[in-house]
Amino acid sequence: MKIIVLQGGEDIKRRTNRELLEAIVKISRRKSIAVIPWTTDDPEKERYYRGVIADYFRELGAKEIYFIERRHEKEEIRMILDKTDILYLPGGDPKILYSTIKEKRIEELIKNFNGIIIGNSAGAIVLSKGEVSNEINPGLGIVDFYVKVHFTPNEKPISLNKDSVVCIPENQWIIVLKK
């Protein structure tokens, strides 16, 4: 059974979903995490958030944290994923994350990952069929619905003609169990 966690948006600097991520690290066998940090084109911002993410997961009990680099070849990425049991896709710009994953041709590696997959905001969008907002941002379709992240109670729920849309509020999450 595959576990996929979609977060509506967590402030990782303030650790607003700490209990959730702590529980995930606790149930993982290896306590080993791979992070795909490609959610910005700003190297300084990416470097800063790498530190925040690494510190956060270490605090939660992670033993090993691997950042998948843009320079890594597909086989190197496969080797990292094979030795981890949590895959984390952070928040940021979903278009950059999606396009870089497609460019690197690693969609199947993500779809076939044999551990717990966590997508925070942009990561949740990329794991779903996509985001529904003023425009539709595509996703990988690992879960069979669209998402609206950072959903607020005063927003009108979005509907598509034949596809499901799951609205996930800020600091909330859903867990999808997939065979």
Q: For residue 13, give the nearest of 119, 69, 93, 91 by alpha carbon.
A: 91
- For the chain, counts of helices (H) and of strands (E): 6, 10
Domain range annotation of the chain: 2-178
pLDDT by residue, tens only, the chain of 179 residues:
899 999 999 999 999 999 999 999 999 999 999 999 999 999 999 999 999 999 999 999 999 999 999 999 999 999 999 999 999 999 999 999 999 999 999 999 999 999 999 999 999 999 999 987 767 789 999 999 999 999 888 887 676 666 788 989 999 999 999 98
Integer angstrom CA distances of residue 174 from 20, 33, 106, 107, 129: 10, 20, 24, 22, 15
**Residue 162, pLDDT score:** 64
* 3.40.50.920, 3.40.50.720, 3.40.190.10, 3.40.50.880: CATH of 2-178: 3.40.50.880
Q: Within 13 Å and on the Cβ side, how many CA atoms surround 48? A: 10
Cβ count within 10 A of residue 85: 19
Predicted TM-score of the model (pTM) = 0.95
DSSP string of 118-176? EEETHHHHHHSSEEESSSEEE---SSSSEEEEEE-TTSPPP--SSS-EEEEETT-EEEE
Rounded Cα gap, residues 63 and 29, in angstroms: 11
